[in-house]
Every structure is written in C-alpha cells, then in structure tokens.
Chain A
C-alpha cells in the first residue's frame, strides 16, 4: 500500500491527479529507502570537526545540516553507501559497519 500526501493506490481514477502531476514538492521524503541498507554509517559528534566535507557527497541528501553544523544521519533515506565515511578526514567521526537488522 502506497500512501503519501493524500494519494494511495486504492483511490479511484477520478480521485487521482490528472495526468500524473504531482502538485507538492519533495513527496519522496515519505519513502523509506533506509531499508536498502546493508552497511550503516555512524556519526560520532565528539570527533567531528564540522568540516562539512561529508554532506555534499551524500547521494541521498541524508546528512542534515543546521546552522553550519551537520547533525546525525537521516536513516530513513541513508542507503549506507559509505561515501561519507570514505571522505571524512577525521579519525572516528564517521564509522561504517554492517547493520544489524
């Protein structure tokens, strides 16, 4: 069952947006792509120097930034690719491990 912003797959033809237009932005935020993960990155704030090199390399916009500080990962979207772990220049600020599910 898909359910987002008032659209679901039980709706009748005349209840769905004409021509498939999506009239809101960013509705994909409701999609949990986090369950694709095999590996998971961990954020260790105490070791982070807030250099910001990690947030732009994330293909999933899953490293939120507030007031020029990165926050913990958005695990709803993070697919665990490990690119952020690889670019992090500071030992232990991001670790990357097999996720226990």
Chain B
C-alpha cells in the first residue's frame, strides 16, 4: 500500500523528482514553481539524490542545459512557470525536434503583461504546438501521478518526446492535500533505467542538431508528428500499468457524470473540481449535466473527445487562457474542431475564465450550465461562441 502524506502540489512534484532521481536537474527561480527547486536542492544537499543540480542563470539556459544533458544520455528534468516557460520557447521546439526525452513540471501561471503571478494557463497553452506532450492535473495527487508516469511516456521508443506535467500555480502548487505516495522502490522499478540508443558520451561519434536542408527537414518533422500520434497509445498503456500498481486509473480524460449528460462542461486542471461541485448540485435537482476533464491535451485525443461529446446537446469549453484571436481559446478551438465530424453535433461555445488568478467559483459554472440551457432552448448560440465569464461589466 502507498504512503499517506500531507503535501503541497510543489512538494508532491519535488517528492516524485526525488524518487526518480534524475541525472541532471537544471532550473531557475520563478514564482510559483520555485518551491519545487527549493525542496529538490535540499535533497541534493542532504545526499538523498545523486543528481547534478545546475542552478542556471535563466530559464533559457535551464532548457539548454537539459537539452545538453538529455543528448548526453541523462535523465533530465526542470521546472518553471509563466515567463520562464516563455523564455524557454525557442528551445522547447529544439528539445522535441531533437527527440530528447525529459520532463518539465509547469506550475501554471499567467503571462505578462501586465505582470501577474497568479494562475491561468496562458504559459503552457502557448507552448501547446511545440511538440511536447502535455498532461494536466486536477489536484496534488494527479500532479504526482502524472509526474511519475511522464518518464515512461517520454522515454518510450515509439515516442521520444519531452513531457510537460502541468498543475495550477498556488491553487494546487501551494495548497496542502492528503495524497498517497508510492514507495520509492516501486517508483524506481516502474520508471526503470533510461537507456537511449545513442548519446553524446557513449564513446562513439554522434552529431546532434545538424543544419537540416529542405531535402530532410520535412521528413524529420513528419517523424515528430507521428511520434506525437503514437504517444496516445503509449500514455494509455503506461496509465494501465500505473493503475495496476496503485489502483489509480487514468485515461486520456475523465468523464464525470457524462452517461446521459445533455449539457457538458469541458475543463482541465484544478477548476475541474469546482465544475464537478456545480454538476453535483444540478444533478441533485435532476438536471442532466456532466463534466469532461481533459488530462492529455497533447496529443489531443480528438476522436475520443468527439465520441464522448456525441450525445450532448450543448457544450461549454472552458479556457483559462485567451487566444486573442477573435474566435476562442485553445481548448475550445480543438474541441470544436474534433466534433466537426460527428453526425449530430452539439452546440459548442467557449468560456474564457479565471485569468490571472481571478477566483473561479461554483457560481461561475452554474452560470455556464444555465447559458447552455438557454442555447438548447433557443436552438442557437446567437453566433456568440467566444464568451467570457467572471469579467466585470460582462456578466
């Protein structure tokens, strides 16, 4: 049986890092992810891990050092938030393009400007097309579990892509919850050894990161695209093994009271918990509402999401990130696109919510469910698909 511990999301992440004992961790401080690095440097100082900890001078260098370490055959990790992730941007593409496994714990925070240290998803959502797998976590337990699973996914020969394990800054990163840890030995056995086919210091010649001419660049990008497609099955397989070890099952997403749901809210990370409370309240009144909580956003499980929403009449996709594109947020655009091929499509609208740490309440979700009722009753979304909730003067 696992070990019950009272841990913040950050400490849970740091604990998973300790159990995995990476070869190299390179990180730079930024709120709210810094705490993970505090914990981890203490483990290094106390000799609880034998990791090389590289206290770099920027997130750009953090990701650069991780790329070097991974290319040199090391199990490699870093942690960041918001502007730190933005500073890594250029290199996120390099890491996935060079097919270098690693895990980046993203403690989600709003991007500047103006500067704001609180939670939303503008950081990781901006990186959604960088070739990284993205796993989202509702609570501390999921942040821990996803972190442990991420290595098996990232290093799988069919995948070889880096993974972001995301959780909400402050909301879960600093909130203390009871979680169940897996025994060190079991984690070690589950994660196994990292044995890349080739690496920079294996004694043989190897050139990593060539100039890629038009003769080859497209094929290399196609390889990366195929790896991302293959990742879906690998995630399912690893999750199944994880469930056998812990009893905690994970899919591509969680369907909450979805069986006969006519009105559905699609949401990810911590707000899923709030949405579930709203759904419970309405279910108690006999209303057919459900929640679809995305866990895997990259690769996007489009066919599975479409199938899960095929019986709904109206769907609200929640984005804790605005795309400023005049149309809707990133999760919305993908969910709506996924449903295009359904024989009968639900009405699908977008709600941007909770930006920059704006409180997300049960009332917000009750409001959204009510709006879905209006859409069903009127038979139209009034061409107003790009909506916001929680903005003063709007609703």
Contacts and interface: CB of A to CB of B under 8 A. Distances in A.
Nearest to B96: A19
B223 interface: yes
Contact of A23 (B100, B160, B198, B223): B198
Interface stretch (B206-214, B287-295, B324-332): B206-214
A24 interface: yes
Interface in B244-276: none
Contacts of A24: 205
B358 interface: no
Interface in A42-101: none
B205 A13 contact: no
Given A21-B206, A21-B208, A23-B206, A9 B222 contact: no
Q: Is the interface of B mostly helix, strand, loop or mixed?
A: loop
A22 B99 contact: no
A29 interface: no
| A interface secondary structure, majority | loop
Interface in A20-43: 20-26
Classify chain B's interface size: 20 to 34
Contacts of A16: 216, 219-220, 223
Contact of A19 (B204, B215, B223, B226): B223
Contacts of A25: 204-205, 207
Interface string B170-201: 00000000000000000000000000001000
B169 interface: no
B205 A21 contact: no
B19 interface: no
B205 A18 contact: no
Interface in B71-130: 97-100
Contact of A14 (B97, B206, B216, B223): B223
B198 A21 contact: yes
18 contacts: A9-B215, A9-B216, A11-B219, A12-B219, A13-B226, A14-B226, A16-B216, A18-B99, A19-B97, A19-B98, A19-B160, A19-B208, A20-B210, A21-B98, A22-B206, A22-B207, A25-B205, A26-B205
Interface of A: 2, 9, 11-14, 16, 18-26
